[in-house]
Amino acid sequence: MTRILLINMLFKNISKFFLLINVILFLSCSSLKNITNPSLKKSHNDTTISKGVSLAYNYVNGVKEKLLGNLDNAATIFNKCLKMDKNNSACMYELANIYTIQKKYKEALNLSKSAVEIEKDNIWYQIQLSDLYEKNKQYKNAALIYEQIIKKNPEKIELYYKWAEELLYSGKYTDAIKVYNLIEKRIGITEEISIQKEQIYLKLNKLKDAISEVEKLINAFPKELKYLNILSELYQNNNSPEKAYEIYNKILEKDPNNGLVHLSLANYYKQKGQKDKAFDELKSAFSRKELDIDTKINILLSYFVVTDKYTELKDQAYELLKILVTVHPHEAKAHSMYGDFLYRDKKLTDARDEFKKVIALDSSKYMVWEQLLYTESELGDNIALKNDSKRAINLFPLQPGLYLLNGSSNFQLNNLEEAINSLNEGLKLSSFDKNLQLQFYTFLGDIYNKKKEYDKSDENYQNALKIDADNSYVLNNYSYYLSLRKKDLDKAENMARKAVDNEPKNDSYLDTYAWVLYIEGKFKEAKIWEDKAMTNGGEKNGTILEHYGDILFKLNEIDKAVLFWEKARKAGGTTEFIDKKITDRKLYE
């Protein structure tokens, strides 16, 4: 309201100034007609009129520049006006407003003080001065100004609120309460005033007075149950749980479906150590549709944190989650919360079902799509991953991670061209994220190798290593594929050795290094490293067992070689030569 009144006043003043200018110009022109002697000097009145015209003209220009947002220009003009008339309070007021917008609070305060000294009864100047005292953290002075304004304008009830506010800022809590009482006498009991007074009384450690304020609200508005809730919280938070309990029951008599009261009762029983009753009340709260879902989600978030450590609470969490999705079946966030718990606890199939429900209700949340796709990836459901990632790409075409998931699923399904197209599209979008680029290059290296487009495969692996020269996965794959082609074996050996140095207990990386040494004809060294692969889990891997047999054959340990080939055949994952090797007791490559 204040801002509107000021603008109206401003436009009225502008109109008056334009009118004044026209009148002055008219009078000036009239007087000029009467001058017959060109050499006659201007009279004192002519000078005054000329100065008045100039001042009015500049003032109007200053206002115009301010309204256009050209604050520096406006400030320059108003300063010019003050040089012409150092006691012009209107210019001081306007300039103080500009300095306030520019956060030059000290300069604004000095100008505002001067304006009020010149026009002591101007309410707008006084309000401006009080606001500037506040901005300069001189709250007592700000409160004093409002007190003075209200003495002369007791009917302006909106000013009482600012007076009380400034008193609170200055730490005069008792005085603030007196002002709120004045407001209450004029407009009656209101929630805003009573709750404010309650909070002040609590700050002053006057619990009885705080309770009295809430009771006034309850008596004034007996049908408004939230005031009973506030009173119960006062008792609960101030070591009067039994009194709080009495009020909870009063509320339930009037509103048995009040979820907030059931939450309060859950807390009450929890503090008394009655865990079963506490959980029963919590379930009752969750069963009430009237209790908003966000409150329930926040409670479950606390369960999500604590159940990671206190697993005995997981059963409670899942019971509450089932109630949540039953009571709010059409709320996406309910199924999302349930899905997060299931995913964390590796209940992947059920988690996927919940994430699917979320997307059916609201497909606009990217994070849910991502969670669904990761779940499908962990389940190894590449068909679903391919289809759902394609749907997600249509909705979020600028998210590079979706192209990576789509590319990986197509790779697993042997749709190599589709995989390459998707990965290259995603690579274009990932320039801001080196880690993501690394994954794209790695997949492309693997796929091009499978397609036997070795130059492109090598190029992508090299690009990956430019981003992360120590990436064990890339070092391992690149070196292994080079060894199979018997190309750049020194480079392959160095990369493979680097990978095992990074992860000395990884049976796959140990096997790769042994295999590179084998291809180089370093059979004794190869056996040493293949032994390490075997002791780190390789004895269950068909590829590693077959490689071990090949190395033993080269070392002329034929019987042992055949024994390991037979173990490899049982484990699976061998070359097409395995049966021939065993039957003929010869090495085929």
- 567 within a domain of the structure (yes/no): yes
Closest CA to 148 of 178, 123, 115, 185: 123
**Is-contact 405 373, C-beta < 8 A?**
yes
| CA–CA dist 496, 472 (Å, integer) | 8
* Residue 233, C-beta contacts closer than 8 angstroms, at least 6 positions apart: 244, 264
pLDDT at 12: 41
Reported as a single tens digit per residue, the pLDDT across 70-126 is 999 989 988 989 898 888 999 999 999 999 999 999 999 999 999 999 999 899 999
For residues 141 and 129, give the distance between their C-alpha atoms in angstroms, rounded to a whole number: 9
Domain termination residue (choose one: 136, 165, 200): 136
Domain end (from 87, 116, 136): 136
Residue whose C-alpha is closest to residue 401's, from 362, 427, 377: 427
Whether 346 maps to a domain, the answer reads no
Torsion over CA: 48, 54, 57, 59 (sign): negative
Nearest CA to 134 out of 158, 112, 102 is that of 112
Structure tokens at 392: 């997600």
Q: What pLDDT was estimated at residue 40?
A: 33
Confirm if 500 and 530 have CB atoms less than 8 A apart.
no
Nearest-angstrom CA–CA distance, 106 and 130: 13
Q: What is the mean pLDDT of the chain?
A: 89
Q: Is residue 23 part of a domain?
A: yes
As for how many domains the chain has, the answer is 2
Which of these, 96, 94, 90, lies nearest to 111 by C-alpha position? Answer: 96
* Nearest partner of 473 among 493, 495, 455, judged by Cα: 495
Which residue in 410, 449, 402 sits closest to 427, CA to CA? 402
Q: Would you say 200 and 213 are in contact if contact means Cβ atoms under 8 Å apart?
A: no
pLDDT at 308: 84
Residue 546 lies in a domain: yes
Q: Which pLDDT value is given to residue 550?
A: 96
Q: Does residue 261 contact residue 252 with C-beta atoms inside 8 Å?
A: yes
| Distance separating alpha carbons of residues 23 and 33, to the nearest angstrom | 16
Q: What is the DSSP letter of 160?
A: H
For residue 86, give both structure tokens.
């150092």
For CA atoms 555, 558, 564, 568, the dihedral sign is positive
Flag whether 496 is in a domain. yes
| 399 domain-assigned | no
The CATH number of the domain where 522 resides is what? Answer: 1.25.40.10
> Tell me, what amino acid is at 249?
N
Q: Is residue 524 assigned to a domain?
A: yes
Boundary-marking domain end, from 109, 136, 163: 136
Q: Which residues of the chain have pLDDT under 70?
A: 1-52
Which range of residues forms the domain containing residue 122?
Answer: 1-32+44-136
CA–CA distance, 214 with 230 (Å, rounded to integer): 7
SS (H, E, C) 513-541: HHHHHHHCCCHHHHHHHHHHHHHCCHHHC
Supply the pLDDT for residue 50.
62
The string of pLDDT tens digits covering residues 24-69 is 333 233 222 332 333 334 444 445 556 667 888 888 888 898 899 8
Indicate whether 500 belongs to any domain: yes
Sequence-ordered list of residues with C-beta below 8 angstroms from that of 359, at least 6 positions apart, any chain? 368, 369, 372
